C-alpha cells in the first residue's frame, strides 16, 4: 500500500472500468487513508474512522466492479452482500451481523489456502515418507519380500541391477520419484467426508449460541475414516493435502484473519436503496427502517461475536450502492446517512463509453469473444464501424427500454454472434469479419420492433 498512490489506484481501475472518474477518485482516497491511518500512533489510530461511501447510479455503470477491483488491488478482505436480503431481528431471514461472520469466514479460508500453498514443498516431503512407510513396513520379513518385489519391478522396467550397498528404501524412493510406481495401488486411511448424522440448522448461525456445537461434537466423537485402495500417484496428492493442513497453525490464521478484517476489511452493501423510503403500510410485514436500525450499529462500530473471536467493526470500510430510482439517499434514516459522509453519483453510459468498454479494458467483451471462437480455429475480426454500430444500438435500446448500462452489451453481443457461436464447429470459413452491415442485418429488425426489443434485447 505504501507504493499504491491514489493516482496509481485510479490508473489500475482504468484498466477495467471506463469513465466514472469521481467514483474512482473517492475510493482511491478512502483506500490511501487506510494506509495513512496505520502510520499513526495507536491512540490516534483508534480515533480516525473510515469515511464510508455511497455510490449512486443506475445498474451496469460499474459500482460493484469498482469496489471489487479496489479490494483486489489492496489485497484486502472483501465481501459483497445485498441489503435486500436482510430482515430485522425477530423475523425469519438473515440478520445484518451475518455479513461480518461471512467476511471473517472468507478471510480465514483464503489465509489457510495461502499458508497451505506456502508449505506444499515440506508437505510433499512428509507425504513421500509416509508412502515409503506404507510400501516398506518396519517388519524385516515384509521388507525382504518387498525388496525382492522391487528387484523384479526394476528388472521389468529395464533398470540395471541395483548396487549391493543401496538401501531398499532409497531404491524405492528413486522409483517413486521417477514415476515407475504411479500405477501401483496402496491401502490408505482417508477421512470420510460423508454428511454427519446430526445437523443443526439456525437462521443466525451457531456461533451466536455462545458455543460452537459442531466443534464440541467433533471433539467428543471419533473422526470417521475409511480405508481405500488408491494409486500411489493419487495417494501422494491426498497425503500432501493432509500434511499441508497439519502444518498450518490455525490459531495464528484465525488471529491474523480477525485482525485483517478489523483493519482493512471492505464490505460492499449493494441495493441499499431497496431498504430506503417511507413505509407504505402499517401491517406486520418486515420494516425497511428496522433493517436500517439493525445496520446502523454495525456501520457505526460495534463488536460482533463470531466463532473465530469477537470482531470490532469500527474500522471496516463500508461502500454502499443503489440506483435510487424510486427512493433518495435522504430517505435513509438520518443516523445512517451520517455514517456515509461521501456520496458519489455515477453517470449513465452513452455510445462513446460503450465503444470504449468494447475495446479498451484488459477483459474487453470483444476480446473475450475473439478468444472463445479461436478455440474452434476461427479468427473473428470486428471493424471500427461495427463496434460503433453495436455501441449505438446499446444506447438506443437503453433509452427506449430499461437502462441497464453496460450489461446491455452482453445481450446484444450474444444475439449478434448467436448463429456463428452455434455453427462454429462446422464452419469452413475460418476468417470472419464483422462489419456494420452484418450488425445491421442481425439486429435492426429487433431494435425497430419495440415489443421484440423488450423481450430479446
Q: Using CB atoms within 10 A of its CB, is residue 312 exposed (0-12), middle (13-18) or buried (19+)? A: middle
Q: Which range scores top for mean pLDDT: 134-148, 222-236, 301-315?
A: 301-315
Three cell numbers written together for 398: 437503453
Which residues share a beta bridge with 356? Answer: none
| Residue 304, number of CB atoms within 10 A of its CB | 20
Tell me: is residue 289 an annotated ligand-binding position.
no
- The vertex-143 CA angle with 139 and 148, nearest 5°, equals 160
On whether the CB atoms of residues 319 and 266 are closer than 8 A, the answer is yes
Tell which wins on pLDDT, 172 or 56: 56
Lowest mean pLDDT among 165-174, 192-201, 405-414: 192-201
The residue among 310, 134, 340, 359 whose CA lies nearest residue 239 is: 134
The reported pLDDT for the residue numbered 451 is: 63
Tell me: is residue 218 an annotated ligand-binding position.
no
Tell me: is residue 60 an annotated ligand-binding position.
yes
The share of the chain scoring above pLDDT 70, in percent, equals 79
* 3-class secondary-structure state, position 266: strand
SS (H, E, C) 408-438: HHHHHHHHHCHHHHHHHHHCCCCEEEECHHH
Tell me: is residue 427 an annotated ligand-binding position.
no
**pTM (two decimals):** 0.77
Lowest mean pLDDT among 4-18, 204-218, 223-237: 204-218
Tell me: is residue 62 an annotated ligand-binding position.
yes
Domain 6-107+258-345 classified CATH 3.40.50.1220?
Answer: no
pLDDT band at 220 (very low <50, low <70, confident <90, very high): low
Element (H, E) at 185: strand 185-191
The reported pLDDT for the residue numbered 258 is: 94
The reported pLDDT for the residue numbered 86 is: 79
Q: Which range scores top for mean pLDDT: 107-116, 132-141, 158-167?
A: 107-116
Tell me: is residue 18 an annotated ligand-binding position.
yes
pLDDT band at 261 (very low <50, low <70, confident <90, very high): very high
Tell me: is residue 205 an annotated ligand-binding position.
no
Per DSSP, 222 falls in state P
Tell me: is residue 64 an annotated ligand-binding position.
yes
Tell me: is residue 262 an annotated ligand-binding position.
no
pLDDT band at 93 (very low <50, low <70, confident <90, very high): low
Give one DSSP letter per residue of 283-349, joined into a string.
SSSPPHHHHHHHHHHHHH--EEEETTEEEE-TT-EEEEEE--SSS-GGGS-HHHHHT--EEEEPPPP
Q: Which residues of 386-413 are buried (b: 16+ CB within 10 A; e: fewer)?
A: bbbbbbbbbbbbbeeeebbbbebbeebb
Cα separation, 327 vs 427, whole angstroms: 51
Cα separation, 266 vs 78, whole angstroms: 5
CATH topology of domain 351-452: Helicase, Ruva Protein; domain 3 (1.10.8)
Tell which wins on pLDDT, 177 or 364: 364
On whether the CB atoms of residues 381 and 421 are closer than 8 A, the answer is no
Inter-CA distances, 339 with 56, 226, 279, 425, Å: 16, 54, 22, 55
Domain boundaries, the chain: 6-107+258-345, 120-137+165-252, 351-452
Long-range contacts, stretch 144-153, CB < 8 angstroms, 24+ apart: 146/172, 150/175, 153/180, 153/181
Lowest mean pLDDT among 245-249, 336-340, 425-429, 448-452: 448-452
Tell me: is residue 204 an annotated ligand-binding position.
no
Cα separation, 381 vs 374, whole angstroms: 11
The share of the chain scoring above pLDDT 90, in percent, equals 28
Q: Could you read off the pLDDT of 354-400 as tens digits, one per residue?
A: 999 999 888 899 999 999 999 999 999 999 999 999 999 999 888 88
Q: Could you read off the pLDDT of 5-64 as tens digits, one per residue?
A: 899 999 989 888 888 999 999 999 988 888 898 888 988 888 888 889 999 988 888 888
The reported pLDDT for the residue numbered 403 is: 85
Amino acid at each position: 500500500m505504501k507504493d499504491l498512490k491514489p493516482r496509481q489506484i485510479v490508473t489500475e481501475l482504468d484498466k477495467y472500468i471506463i469513465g466514472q472518474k469521481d467514483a474512482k477518485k473517492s475510493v482511491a482516497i478512502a483506500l490511501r487513508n487506510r494506509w495513512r491511518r496505520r502510520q499513526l500512533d495507536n491512540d490516534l489510530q483508534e480515533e480516525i474512522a473510515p469515511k464510508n461511501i455511497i455510490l449512486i447510479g443506475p445498474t451496469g455503470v460499474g459500482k460493484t466492479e469498482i469496489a471489487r477491483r479496489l479490494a483486489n488491488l489492496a489485497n484486502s478482505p472483501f465481501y459483497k452482500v445485498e441489503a435486500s436480503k436482510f430482515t430485522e431481528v425477530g423475523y425469519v431471514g438473515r440478520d445484518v451481523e451475518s455479513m461480518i461472520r461471512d467476511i471473517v469466514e472468507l478471510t480465514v479460508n483464503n489465509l489457510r489456502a495461502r499458508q497451505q500453498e506456502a508449505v506444499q514443498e515440506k508437505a510433499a516431503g512428509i507425504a513421500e515418507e509416509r508412502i515409503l512407510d506404507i510400501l516398506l513396513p518396519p517388519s524385516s520379513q515384509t521388507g525382504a519380500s518387498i525388496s525382492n518385489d522391487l528387484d523384479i519391478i526394476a528388472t521389468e522396467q529395464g533398470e540395471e541391477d541395483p548396487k549391493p550397498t543401496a538401501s531398499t528404501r532409497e531404491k524405492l524412493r528413486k522409483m517413486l520419484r521417477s514415476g515407475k510406481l504411479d500405477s501401483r495401488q496402496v491401502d490408505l486411511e482417508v477421512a470420510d467426508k460423508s454428511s454427519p448424522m446430526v445437523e443443526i440448522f439456525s437462521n443466525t448461525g451457531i456461533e451466536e449460541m455462545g458455543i460452537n456445537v459442531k466443534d464440541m461434537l467433533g471433539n467428543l466423537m471419533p473422526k470417521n475414516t475409511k480405508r481405500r485402495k488408491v494409486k500411489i500417484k493419487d495417494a501422494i496428492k491426498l497425503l500432501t493435502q493432509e500434511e499441508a493442513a497439519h502444518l498450518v497453525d490455525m490459531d495464528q490464521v484465525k488471529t491474523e484473519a480477525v485482525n485483517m478484517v478489523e483493519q482493512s476489511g471492505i464490505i460492499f452493501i449493494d441495493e441499499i436503496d431497496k431498504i430506503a423510503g417511507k413505509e407504505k403500510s402499517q401491517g406486520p410485514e418486515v420494516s425497511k427502517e428496522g433493517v436500517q436500525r439493525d445496520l446502523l450499529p454495525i456501520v457505526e462500530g460495534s463488536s460482533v461475536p463470531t466463532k473465530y473471536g469477537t470482531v470490532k467493526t469500527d474500522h471496516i470500510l463500508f461502500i454502499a450502492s443503489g440506483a435510487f430510482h424510486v427512493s433518495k439517499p435522504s430517505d435513509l434514516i438520518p443516523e445512517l446517512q451520517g455514517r456515509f459522509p461521501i456520496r458519489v453519483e455515477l453517470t449513465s453510459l452513452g455510445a462513446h463509453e460503450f465503444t470504449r468498454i468494447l475495446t479498451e479494458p484488459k477483459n474487453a467483451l470483444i476480446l473475450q469473444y475473439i478468444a472463445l471462437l479461436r478455440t474452434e480455429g476461427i479468427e473473428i475480426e470486428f471493424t471500427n464501424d461495427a463496434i460503433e454500430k453495436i455501441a449505438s444500438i446499446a444506447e438506443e435500446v437503453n433509452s427506449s427500454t430499461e437502462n441497464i448500462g453496460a450489461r446491455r452489451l452482453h445481450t446484444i453481443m450474444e444475439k449478434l454472434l448467436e448463429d456463428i457461436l452455434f455453427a462454429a464447429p462446422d464452419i469452413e470459413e475460418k476468417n470472419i469479419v464483422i462489419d456494420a452491415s452484418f450488425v445491421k442485418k442481425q439486429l435492426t429488425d429487433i431494435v425497430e420492433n419495440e415489443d421484440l426489443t423488450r423481450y430479446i434485447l
